[in-house]
Every structure is written in structure tokens, then in C-alpha cells.
Structure 1
């Protein structure tokens, strides 16, 4: 192509048309040749090139993250409320990096409806639940509750519990007058507070509004979140 264009220009300028005419024609041909050369030399755009680039980007981007909650290196998976779901008889713990090293260990052994039989007991508007617990603290335990001026205690009283309906709606209150004065035999009740180096078993009574749902214990200040159990017990 370069040889042919040079030959044309040489012939044009050699003919007797006059310098100005020949110059104008030559200039036009040079401009046209420049456009042709530019068109031939420019890289072509292609869908294949775009596809290759997108394919490489997609292959290095990695899989999309899953929306399913899963355990992480910082601990077991928590639910949307930030609590750890537990089953009946499953150990829960606080005050340590593992269950074995924890200074507080406990488990819910049953969740059952209970009839309030205390003299002059106010009958619950909803349903009274007896939550049975086994609790143990070590000699190094340091709770976050002060009781009668004694620091570093903990409590499982109804005040530290919450209730949720099957749709996830929080119950306004589970620590009611009916739950506080429900049973005639108060020796069945878990102590209202516990310190270091203690073991205890007993029930905590909650008043819930639905026959099925979830109850949650907030840890009485020892942890930033808590634990949950479904009822009826499973």
C-alpha cells in the first residue's frame, strides 16, 4: 500500500497541471492515505475481548458470600438477636474462652407449664413456665451483679429473661407479679443470686403470652448477648 501511494504522488507532481493544482491534489491524497492507515492500524474492539475480560474478572472475584449464618473463628453462630440458640440439656458458659475454662456453666434441663399454687397467688394472664436449671461457678468466678453490697455475683431471676412469640415479637414482660408469687414450695426456686464456687439447681418461673415461642437469658451483665431456648422444650 505504501509503494502504490508513493507512485501515485510521484506521477501527480510530475504532470504539467501547475504547481498549485498538483499541490492541492497531492495534499488531498496524503490526507486520505493517513485516514486509511489510521483505520488499518487501530486495534479492533470485539465482544470476544470484552467477554474474555469479564470472564477473567469473574474467575478471580471468587464465590458470592452466603446469606446463611455460620460459625466463625470468634465462636458459634448467633441468631438475628445476637443470642446463642441452645437445646435442653446443652451446656452454656461464660467467663472463659472455652466451656471447660469458663467460670460459669449452666444448662436448662426442662421447660414446662406450671400451676401457681401459692396461697393468694395471682393467676397469670398468660402461661406460667417453670424453667429448670443446673448452675455452677468456679472459685475464679466474677459476676457483674452486686447483691446487698456484695459484688461479683450473678442472677438467673426472671428479671434477666425475655420472651418471644413464634413470629419473633418480643413479649412486653415475663417477670410478672404472678411469676414472682406462683409456687407454695419456694424451696423449688433457684437462688436469686449466686457467687463464686457455688452449685445450685432449681426453677425460675416466667409468664409468657403464647403456648409456643422462645425464651432468652441475657447473662446478667456477664456477656454482651445471651442464650435462647424454644418451648415447648425440644
Structure 2
């Protein structure tokens, strides 16, 4: 079982600034798990407990539990200044290249070489003084291309669909209660009418 912590670091120059992460390996331990049908669930539970134990402010915590043929990874945390997902999972960063399209051809106009053990994940790219059309992130898992429009993705606001459903459910409940009250009233009136008919018959018989 491995546990690591990713802390945000800003790298760059006078043209661009990028939020990346430095890796701190918290622990590496061996655990013995008895063979069972729910071995993957037990691995996930172990990873989740380790993440909760090592949660910190302004950092991501990842715990990985590996067994022959199985692997479970759990990550959690929160980092300030994050604007978009630069990599779908934490990847070792090799270089950041900025490309510009000129005369139907692309060329690299700027390049940043990070220090060893630098990771890319959620972050931000702040443009200070550079005109580019795309960003190429070269990682140990392969290259990733990001367009300028993808550097900031705003959060979507809820449309309030849940509230409308609640209102509809409330209306249905009220309607069912009213129908019950009406049926109760009608049953009372029928009982009264039966009683009045019986009393009239008795009075008529006495007169005779």
C-alpha cells in the first residue's frame, strides 16, 4: 500500500505561470489480506481509511493498494487556485510546450522544463505575455493537448428541477387527502339519511 501527497507549486517565467504539484511519499507498507470473495472491497476500504487519516489543507492525498491482478486507488483533497483539469489523473510531467499556428503550420514558440518529480493534475495556466493557440503537456502517460478555451471551465448552476418535483409531490398528497375527506363526508350523509328513513317508518307505524 502506497500513500502520497501532492502539494501545489507554481512554475514558469515572465511569459506564463502554471500550477503543478510536488510529490511527497508519505508511506509505503505491506499488508496481508486473507483471500476472500470481497478482496477488492477490502482493498478499497483500506485505501479510503489511509486517505482520511492523511487529509491536509491545500493538498491532494492518494492511496494505492495493489495485489496480484488487482489495484485500488482512492484520492481526495482540495487545492486553491484550481481552474481546470490539466490531466485526468496525476501524471509525471516532462515538459510544457506552447504552440502557435502560422501559415497552416504549427510551431513551438515557448517551452517550460519542470524539475524532476513534478506532477500535473488539476491546476491553472496563467498567461502573462504570450500569444499561443494550444498547450502540449508531455507526461509519462503520453502527451495531452489543451486549447485556451479549456483552461477555465465555470461550474454549472442547478436548474431547480428538484424543487419542481417536490411541489408536484406535495400537490398530489393534498389531492389524495381531499378525496379521502369527501368520501368520509358522503359516508356520514348516507348514514344520516338511513337513520331518518328508519325513524319515519317507526312514526308511521305508531300512528296506525
Q: Does TM-score exceed 0.5, indicating one fold?
A: no
- Structure ID, larger Rg: 1
More strand by share: 2
Q: TM-score, normalised by structure 1?
A: 0.23
More helix by share: 2
